[in-house]
């Protein structure tokens, strides 16, 4: 699983690196499976991102999610139902 993380999300980046996840070094490196960003802060500024697959790339809004929440979304490939 290859992950792109917005550059301002340093803490999440560091935690995922410690856990052994493979992160993109640059936006144009290759296709990624997961994109993590803070939608409220970045307003979906992915215009320079050329590594989005048409099918299967999951976007995760980091918002108020913990690293455990983000890992759960990546591993389950989606969000759980809100009840």
Whether residue 82 lies inside any domain: the answer is no
The larger pLDDT score, comparing residue 29 to residue 15, is at 15
Whether residue 83 lies inside any domain: the answer is no
- What is the pTM assigned to this prediction? 0.68
Q: Is the pLDDT of residue 18 over 90?
A: yes
How many domains does the chain fold into? 1
Whether residue 81 lies inside any domain: the answer is no
pLDDT digits (tens, 9 = 90+) for 70-82: 898 888 876 554 4
Q: From CA 22, how far away is CA 30, in angstroms rounded? A: 12
Whether residue 43 lies inside any domain: the answer is yes
Sequence-ordered alpha helix ranges (H) in 1-83: 10-18, 39-42, 67-76
Whether residue 8 lies inside any domain: the answer is yes
**Domain ranges, residue 57:** 2-76
Whether residue 65 lies inside any domain: the answer is yes
């Amino acid at each position: 699983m290859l992950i792109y993380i917005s550059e301002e999300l340093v803490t999440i980046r560091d935690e995922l690196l410690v856990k052994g996840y493979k992160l993109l070094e640059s936006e144009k490196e290759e296709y990624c499976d997961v994109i993590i960003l803070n939608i409220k802060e970045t307003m979906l500024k992915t215009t320079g991102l050329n590594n989005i697959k048409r099918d299967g790339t999951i976007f995760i809004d980091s918002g108020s999610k913990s690293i455990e929440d983000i890992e759960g979304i990546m591993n389950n490939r989606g969000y759980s139902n809100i009840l």
